[in-house]
């Protein structure tokens, strides 16, 4: 597994140990970052007697796609999407009792390509699967904004960071951009020249200053003052989009010590950085949910307000 995957798998293992697995997961991130592999690994975790070893016969059966209780549907190559028929027949399949005992898992790879009506037809199914066995749904998406908010809000979200963010940071730095600016820009664009331009823009500088000050807030009193002082920036959706992407990146960093992209800002961090991994995970899932709201043009002021009230 690549490092970001191991971090995610570790979190899932912890959830399993504490009997806190969700009944629905949403894995999102670019192509080739291991989302599908992780979906099968999660299925292994439900069945394996060795903590999701990925190598015992049970795990092998699952990983090879041969387990009776693990159903996978992917994008139909002719239609280039997940069709409503596929989703309906999956539900039909799950309404029948399985021949094999144990939890049941369905993986929908490409949920973001399904029409809104196809996605919405899943809502009831996610909440109350039609059979008795414990059922876990795993949704995979490249683009979170293609997933209807009603599904997003029902799922435990996991972002799979693109493997080459680090490489991009190096390439931007080579163009005489400060390292921290390069890190921040690498979260906003894949294009190196665009990143070089971006860091010189006023909006970027304002958003950066805002982000750094946010990290150093210690208590509610400071948070309220900060909110008032930055009222106009908080209403700027594009600046707040930057802010949330960075915040997501920072959490990924904190949860995955191998990455360390945001190292330079660590000593500023107060509230956001919790020593308690469970608390950190809770904050992270809050930040992920809010950042996906931002993609839906929900008022940035409301989203930021929610962040502040829940964090402080």
Q: Which residues bind Zn ion (CB under 5 A)?
A: 48, 50, 53, 56, 59
Short-list 277, 230, 227, CA closest to 251: 277
Longest dimension (CA), the chain: 62
SS3 of residue 184 by DSSP: helix
Q: How far is the CB of 50 from Zn ion (least distance, A)?
A: 5
User: Cβ closer to Zn ion: 61 or 115?
Assistant: 61
276 phi and psi, to 5 degrees? Answer: -90, 115
Compute the least distance from the CB of residue 252 to Zn ion, in Å.
27
Q: Which is nearer to Zn ion, 53 or 178 (CB)?
A: 53
Alpha-carbon span 23 to 69, nearest angstrom: 15
Q: Give the position of tokens 């991009």.
A: 168
- Least distance in Å: CB of 58 to Zn ion? 5
Least Å distance, CB 131 to Zn ion, is: 25
DSSP letter (8 states) at residue 81: B
Cβ closest to Zn ion, residue 51 vs residue 264: 51
Q: How far is CA 13 from the centre of its chain?
A: 17
- For residue 53, the minimal CB distance to Zn ion (Å) is 4
Instruction: Select the residue whose beta carbon is closest to Zn ion and give its number.
Output: 48
* Smallest distance from Zn ion to CB 16, Å: 12
CB of 224: closest distance to Zn ion in angstroms? 50
SS3 call for 188: coil
Residue 305, Cα to own-chain centre: how many angstroms?
21
Shortest Å distance, C-beta 63 to Zn ion: 9
Nearer to Zn ion, 31 or 49 (CB): 49
| Nearest-angstrom CA–CA distance, 151 and 232 | 31
Burial of 225 (0-12, 13-18, 19+ CB in 10 A): exposed
- Cβ distance to Zn ion smaller for residue 59 or 111: 59
Q: Which is nearer to Zn ion, 62 or 151 (CB)?
A: 62
Structure tokens at 74: 């992917």
CB of 259 to Zn ion, least distance (A): 27
Nearer to Zn ion, 37 or 295 (CB): 37
SS (H, E, C) 19-58: CCCCCEEEEECCCCCCHHHHHHHHHHHHHCCCCCCCCCHH
Nearest to 123 by CA among 114, 100, 132, 68: 114
Q: At what angle do helices 220-229 and 300-311 cross, to 10 degrees?
A: 170
Question: How big is the CA angle at 175 (ends 166 and 254), to the nearest 5 degrees?
Answer: 25
Please say which residue, 46 or 107, places its beta carbon nearer to Zn ion.
46
Which CB atom, from 50 or from 270, has the smaller least distance to Zn ion? Answer: 50
């Amino acid at each position: 597994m690549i490092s970001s995957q191991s971090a995610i798998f570790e979190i899932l293992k912890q959830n399993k140990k504490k009997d806190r697995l969700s009944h629905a997961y949403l894995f999102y991130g670019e192509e080739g970052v291991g989302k599908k592999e992780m979906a099968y690994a999660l299925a292994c975790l439900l069945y394996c007697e060795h903590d999701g070893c990925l190598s015992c016969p049970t795990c092998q059966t699952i990983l090879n796609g041969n387990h009776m209780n693990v159903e996978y549907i992917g994008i139909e190559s002719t239609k280039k999407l997940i069709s409503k028929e596929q989703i309906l027949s999956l539900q039909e399949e799950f309404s029948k009792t399985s021949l094999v005992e144990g939890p049941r898992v369905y993986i929908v790879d490409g949920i973001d390509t399904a029409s809104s009506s196809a996605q919405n037809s899943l809502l009831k199914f996610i909440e109350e699967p039609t059979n008795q066995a414990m059922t876990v749904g795993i949704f995979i998406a490249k683009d979170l904004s293609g997933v209807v908010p009603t599904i997003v809000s029902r799922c435990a979200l996991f972002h799979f960071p693109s493997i080459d963010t680090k490489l991009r940071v190096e390439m931007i730095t080579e163009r005489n951009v400060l390292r921290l600016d390069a890190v921040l820009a690498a979260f906003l664009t894949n294009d190196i020249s665009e990143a070089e331009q971006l860091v010189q823009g006023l909006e970027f500088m304002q958003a950066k200053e805002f982000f750094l000050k946010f990290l150093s807030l210690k208590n509610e009193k400071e948070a309220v003052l900060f909110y008032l002082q930055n009222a106009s920036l908080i209403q700027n959706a594009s600046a707040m989009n930057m802010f949330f992407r960075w915040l997501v990146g920072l959490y990924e960093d904190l949860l995955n010590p191998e990455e360390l992209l945001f190292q330079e800002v660590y000593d500023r961090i107060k509230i956001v950085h919790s020593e308690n991994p469970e608390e950190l995970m809770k904050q992270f899932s809050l930040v992920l949910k809010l950042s996906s709201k931002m993609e839906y043009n929900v008022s940035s002021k409301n989203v930021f307000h929610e962040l502040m009230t829940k964090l402080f």
